[in-house]
Structure 1
Amino acid sequence: MYHSMFVLSKGEVFIVLLVYIDDIILAGNNENKVNEVKNFLKTEFLIKDLGLLKFFLGIEVIKTDNGVCLSQRKYCMDLLNEYGMSGSKPLSCPIEQNHVLTNLTKEKTNDVDITQHQKLVGKLIYLSHTRPDIAYSVHYLSQYMHKPTEAHTQIAFKVLRYLKAASGTGIMFTKTNSFHLTAFADSDWAKCIDSRRSVTGFCIFLGGSLVSWKSKKQSVVSRSSAEAEYRSMCSATCEVLWLINILRELKVDVTIPVVLKCDSTAALSIAANPVFHDKTKHFEVDLFFLREKIASGQIKTHGIKTEDQLADLFTKGLLPTAHSQMCKSLGLINLFAHST
């Protein structure tokens, strides 16, 4: 699978080509130049102009008065039909709040068809490109791709029942004149029962629109919750720096410093304190990295209340009310709610 992005610019005019195998998205800030590129491509390749972008790789692009919504409604409905879940009872959360599966649990459950399980999880991974609300559930299932059991399959089917509740939900990109980035970073300390590794979760907004998010188990064991939170902040910072570079290539002026929000007082104190303590020497590489970005003025840390931590959705299962509120705050919307 191959994909790439090309940015062609001259003065105030720029053209962007997003290429995925034989599918191309062409965008720019000058219609005449866009047409010139189209005509050039037609002379070199056998291509078909499908007009304004409406559908791309299973993602539906819906334009509204407030902006653009990306939805995988058809892909989601086909997935539900494929696994016989179209008539299932919907759930309000994709995963239980206190779900626990250990090696001991796996020994007591029967193995399942690995190929079929991997196929289902793979499709859920692709669906999570426009559904950050299932990112944590999919991350959790992905850890057991090579030896799944009935318990993991049951969780996967619970995710499908959750999707059944609102298959048309998509992510909204609203119109705005503001191009400032805001990041939220969080962690769930020692979440994995078997390895005691923590889960990193972060989400990044451009203006008021969610543009990047991640739920991932940390590569090393954190010796304290402060260390786990700090590592999450570093992961979010890396993503912020990457986004800044991409936006600058697209000629977008990004407001600096980027605000990085965290609800851990200890992690914020470590980031602000230039003095090394014995208890933080074991992760001093991350300490240098984040403090360097703060000192250079690229990142500015900011403390928030736990209930305002939007990255919670990417580190753990939540209760239905909290989950629903988080989804709204992330900009998820179901434009098909009144038509289904």
Structure 2
Amino acid sequence: MVYLLLYVDDIVITASSSEQLRSVISSINAEFKLKDMGALHYFLGIQVQRSSDGFFLNQHQYALDLLERAGMQECRPCSIPIDTNGKISGNSGTKLDAAASSSYRSIVGALQYLTMTRPDLQYSIQQACLHMHEPTTNHEALVKRILRYVRGTANLDLHLRISNITNIVAYSDADWAGCPDTRRSTSGFCVFLGDALISWSSKRQTTVSRSSAEAEYRGVANAVAECTWLRQLLDELGCAPEQATVVFCDNVSACYMSSHPAHHRRTKHIELDVHFVQEKVALGQCRVLHVPTTQQSADVMTKGLPT
């Protein structure tokens, strides 16, 4: 079994055996001139460290370069990347001038790439991205706080463990009406393959939800859509999941709606999401189960949390 990722100038190839790997490289080399760089250690700013039980991915050097670029390589570290007391309004603070606004967008854009291996930064950077069009001094302070957090946690890695388990488990959460300007909700999910975190998201919803159940259900639909794509990908790679994907949600109403098409009049405004999830449940590809809020891993994707 061979997996191939093609980028602009580089190719990363992995196979289930060294013999098969050499065979694939020889076949490609017969058509194109290749330079074998050996085992993967560094790729597109991501450092790869091998161990007996998997891979460690980190962007330590990228983080240090970003801090130097922002002039904060000697800043005082902080323990959390965003305040836990609430979201920042788009109107708070004083509007930045053109030069400061350009610098803000540049730094936030660079921070986005850091979320490739740092799911703990996803929510705070998503909040900073919401104000790219017109940043203020308060938004600038948020970015500086994120950078201070990066300064103290630059050595954190993402561990992808070796496992024979191909079951997918997801956690979905939503912060109902959390945006102080539009009252839109923020939904997020974390997806695990075995015990390895492989996908995560924090995103403001496109519409205003009229209840917490609606906001949570839209978050579940996003998680189910991601899991559906991952199941199809694993199937193409020859290791299709044998069991239904379990999606955990801490809202009882959202869990109930996923398998019981009741109260149709009350859910008509979210009918597409309802039918999409119910279809996956009916096909046996997905199960939506309740999880206590204290065990909700996706909480970190929807709000600022204490240490």
> Please, what TM-score do these two structures have when normalized by structure 2?
0.95
Distance in 2, Cα, partners of 1:288 & 1:179: 26
Distance in 2, Cα, partners of 1:251 & 1:317: 39
Consecutive unaligned residues of structure 1, counting only runs of 5 or more, are 1-13, 321-340
Task: Give the aligned residue type for 1:319.
Answer: P
Structure 2 residue aligned with 1:150, among 118, 137, 141?
Answer: 137
Distance in 1, Cα, partners of 2:23 & 2:245: 37
What residue number does 1:254 align with? Answer: 241
Distance in 2, Cα, partners of 1:61 & 1:225: 41
Q: CA deviation at 1:269?
A: 1.8
Distance in 2, Cα, partners of 1:111 & 1:266: 46
Q: CA deviation at 1:60?
A: 0.6
Task: Give the aligned residue type for 1:272.
Answer: S
Q: CA deviation at 1:281?
A: 1.4
Cα–Cα, structure 1 residues 25 and 218, in superposed 2: closer, same or farther, change >3 Å?
same
Distance in 2, Cα, partners of 1:18 & 1:159: 31
Q: Given that residues 111 and 147 in structure 1 are in contact (C-alpha distance below 8 angstroms), is that contact kept between their aligned partners in structure 2?
A: no
Root mean square deviation of aligned Cα: 1.4
Distance in 2, Cα, partners of 1:164 & 1:276: 50
Q: Given that residues 3 and 15 in structure 2 are in contact (C-alpha distance below 8 angstroms), is that contact kept between their aligned partners in structure 1?
A: yes
Distance in 2, Cα, partners of 1:303 & 1:180: 18
Q: CA deviation at 1:40?
A: 3.2
What residue number does 1:141 align with? Answer: 128
Q: Given that residues 95 and 135 in structure 2 are in contact (C-alpha distance below 8 angstroms), is that contact kept between their aligned partners in structure 1?
A: no
Task: Give the aligned residue type for 2:63.
Answer: C
1:277-324 deviation digits (Å, cap 9, x = unpaired): 42211111111111111111111111111010000000010111xxxx
Matches within 5 A, 1:315-330: 315-320=302-307
Q: Counterpart of 1:105 in 2: which secondary structure?
A: coil
What residue number does 2:186 align with? Answer: 199
Q: Given that residues 244 and 286 in structure 2 are in contact (C-alpha distance below 8 angstroms), is that contact kept between their aligned partners in structure 1?
A: yes
Q: Counterpart of 1:292 in 2: which secondary structure?
A: helix
Distance in 2, Cα, partners of 1:211 & 1:222: 28
What residue number does 1:310 align with? Answer: 297
Structure 2 residue aligned with 1:84, among 66, 71, 74?
Answer: 71
Structure 2 residue aligned with 1:173, among 160, 168, 172?
Answer: 160
Consecutive unaligned residues of structure 2, counting only runs of 5 or more, are none
Aligned length: 306
What residue number does 2:104 align with? Answer: 117
Q: CA deviation at 1:130?
A: 0.3
What residue number does 1:243 align with? Answer: 230
Structure 2 residue aligned with 1:214, among 201, 209, 213?
Answer: 201
1:17-66 deviation digits (Å, cap 9, x = unpaired): 21110011011123223213222333433332110111111101111223
Q: CA deviation at 1:133?
A: 0.2
1:45 matched to 2:26? The reply is: no
Q: CA deviation at 1:195?
A: 0.9
Q: CA deviation at 1:267?
A: 1.2
> Please, what TM-score do these two structures have when normalized by structure 1?
0.86
